């Protein structure tokens, strides 16, 4: 494969960049509603497929997703905290448990693999086509593995008033498009051996290779606008998994709620989950 001088900038990464300009809750509600309108879920799905195809040009297989020497905030000791007050505390509870069950939905159960990954991470001062350094972009919150069949799960967290489910959906779609390529699937298996079972890692098989999760904690669904965004995102996910440009790569899109119970145990429940019939 010929060398790529800069990291491909996908349609979905460019779309995600617009959220910095339209950051208000009202704007993002309008964006979610527009994404759901008429044929727009199909257009979004096409952008996803084009993003996968564009990022397939890039290869950084030898690069670890997160080398131990890189700076990263330490997780708190879960034995010393008694609430979920942000992504770090939630991650600390999950990492200490190693795996989690989703109440009454065993097909959604998962195991923790890693946190705060950058799929495009490349050493040597690599930059995207817009000259943004690869090491400075926002990181994927969680990399999980399905407990039943070990398919990778791309996961974004939203704790309290930290953004909203539509914002999280755009993030997981962006990361999924970058991780669904043959090079990245090979990279996952190389750097996390025995953690995943990926049916199309060599690029020759057909079928979905990822799940995508949104995890909400302390989400204020009693807020009218937040409830509207959640419901619109719910409907959009249902539409998206019916699009072949999505279901070719993503088996399932799910949204989970998580609370902390007595004994510092996380309780995950399904808000919605859709897979292509």
Residue 62, pLDDT score? 86
In a domain? residue 58: yes
3-class state of residue 154 by DSSP:
strand
Residue 68, pLDDT score? 59
- By DSSP bridging, strand 152-159 and strand 210-217 are parallel
3-class state of residue 212 by DSSP:
strand
Distance set, CA 120 to CA 135, 168, 178, 202 (Å): 8, 19, 8, 19
In a domain? residue 269: yes
In a domain? residue 254: yes
In a domain? residue 78: no
pLDDT band at 115 (very low <50, low <70, confident <90, very high): very high
Q: Is pLDDT of 204 > 90?
A: no
pLDDT band at 175 (very low <50, low <70, confident <90, very high): very high
pLDDT in tens, 47-104: 999 999 999 988 888 888 776 555 678 899 999 999 999 999 999 999 999 999 999 9
Residue 172, pLDDT score? 96
More confident residue, 137 or 146: 146
pLDDT in tens, 184-196: 999 999 999 999 9
Mean predicted confidence (pLDDT) in 168-189: 94
The span from the CA of 236 to the CA of 264, in Å, is: 33
Q: State how far Cα 31 lies from the chain centre.
A: 19
Tokens of 243: 């699009």
Residue 1, pLDDT score? 41
According to DSSP, residue 129 is labeled T
Per cent of the chain over pLDDT 70 is 90
- Name the nearest CA neighbour of 195 among 250, 151, 251: 151
In a domain? residue 68: no
Number of structural domains in the chain: 1
Domain with 142, as residue range(s), is 11-63+83-275
Mean predicted confidence (pLDDT) in 215-225: 86
More confident residue, 133 or 164: 164
In a domain? residue 18: yes
In a domain? residue 202: yes
In a domain? residue 4: no
Residue 23, pLDDT score? 87
Residue 221, pLDDT score? 67
């Amino acid at each position: 494969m010929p060398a790529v001088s800069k990291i491909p900038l996908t349609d979905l990464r460019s779309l995600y960049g617009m959220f910095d300009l339209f950051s208000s809750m009202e704007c993002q509600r309008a964006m979610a509603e527009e994404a759901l309108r008429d044929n727009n879920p199909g257009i979004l799905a096409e952008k996803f497929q084009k993003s996968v195809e564009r990022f397939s040009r890039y290869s950084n297989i030898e690069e670890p997703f997160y080398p131990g020497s890189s700076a990263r905030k330490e997780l708190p000791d879960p034995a010393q905290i008694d609430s979920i007050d942000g992504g770090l505390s939630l991650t600390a509870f999950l990492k200490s448990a190693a795996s989690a069950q989703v109440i009454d939905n065993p097909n959604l159960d998962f195991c923790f693999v890693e946190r705060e990954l950058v799929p495009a991470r490349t050493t040597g001062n690599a930059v995207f086509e817009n000259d943004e350094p690869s090491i400075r972009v926002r990181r994927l919150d969680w990399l999980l593995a399905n407990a039943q069949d070990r398919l990778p799960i791309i996961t974004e967290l939203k704790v309290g008033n930290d953004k909203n489910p539509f914002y999280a959906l755009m993030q997981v779609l962006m990361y999924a498009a970058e991780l669904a390529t043959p090079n990245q699937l090979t990279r996952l298996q190389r750097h996390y051996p025995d953690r995943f079972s990926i049916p199309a890692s060599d690029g020759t098989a057909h079928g979905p290779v990822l799940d995508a999760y949104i995890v909400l904690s302390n989400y204020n669904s009693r807020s009218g606008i937040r409830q509207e965004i959640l419901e619109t995102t719910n409907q959009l996910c249902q539409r998206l998994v019916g699009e072949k440009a999505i279901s070719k790569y993503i088996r399932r899109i799910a949204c989970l709620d998580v609370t902390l119970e007595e004994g510092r145990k996380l309780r995950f429940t399904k808000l919605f989950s859709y897979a292509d019939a």
